[in-house]
Amino acid sequence: MGTITAAFTPKLGEATTLRDKAGVPFVVRAYDPRFRDELQRFYEEFEPKRAAQGLPPSHPERIRDWLDDVLGKGINLIALRHDELAGHALVMPTSRDGIGEYAIFLREDLRGRGVGSEFGRVVVAAARANDLRGLWLTVEPGKRAAIRTYEKAGFRFIPQTVLSVEAEMEIDFTDVEGKDE
């Protein structure tokens, strides 16, 4: 139960329409292979390069290899705005049973507009719907905007890591089961 071993589709239906802070709609849906070329272009144009622990990769060949790896396992969701790819979020297997590693990437022009917060909540819901026990991520402590986005999705710092070069954050779904959020 709750082990990510192969690609699976989130139990959230075909698509979820959300709105940013200005009320502009965007759609979050499970990744579909017909978006593969667009996702490749998304990462080739993504800024800043190697923004989070060396991701996304900076060269087209490395991006292709990385996508071949991550799209074949875990949870992969995409965000579309005006029918254009606006973001990609993923939950990858870890060595800890039932715990997934969370990552989210948004187009630069959409950051600070609430898209990441709303998108993140859908990713967390997908992880819970797929019976994971929790999510984990690492973040540089100086990345305040990213940290606020993660906190809005429910992540909390692991206390002993706060002063590290890469702090760790987690959501433990077993701590909140049965509680209203």
pLDDT > 90 in the chain, percent:
52
Residue 2 CA to chain centroid, in angstroms?
17
Q: With contact defined as beta carbons under 8 Å apart, do 129 and 140 qualify?
A: no
**Residue 176: what pLDDT?**
61
Q: Tell me whether residue 152 is exposed, middle or buried, using C-beta atoms within 10 angstroms of its C-beta: 0 to 12, 13 to 18, 19 or more.
A: middle
Angle of helix 144-152 relative to helix 115-129, nearest 10 degrees, comes to 50
Q: With contact defined as beta carbons under 8 Å apart, do 22 and 73 qualify?
A: no
Looking at the DSSP bridge assignments, the partners of residue 77 are: 30, 89
**Residue 100: what pLDDT?**
96
Average pLDDT (101-107) is: 92
Split at pLDDT 50, 70, 90, the class of 178 is: very low
Q: With contact defined as beta carbons under 8 Å apart, do 9 and 28 qualify?
A: no
3 pLDDT exceeds 90? no
**Domain covering 15-176 in this structure, CATH number:** 3.40.630.30
Average pLDDT (17-22) is: 88
> Which residue type does 121 have?
R
Provide the mean pLDDT of the chain. 84
Q: What is the DSSP string of 26-91?
A: EEEEE--GGGHHHHHHHHHH-SSTTTBTTBS-SSHHHHHHHHHHHTTSSEEEEEEETTEEEEEEEE
Q: Where exactly are the structural domains of the chain?
A: 15-176
> Which residue type does 134 have?
G
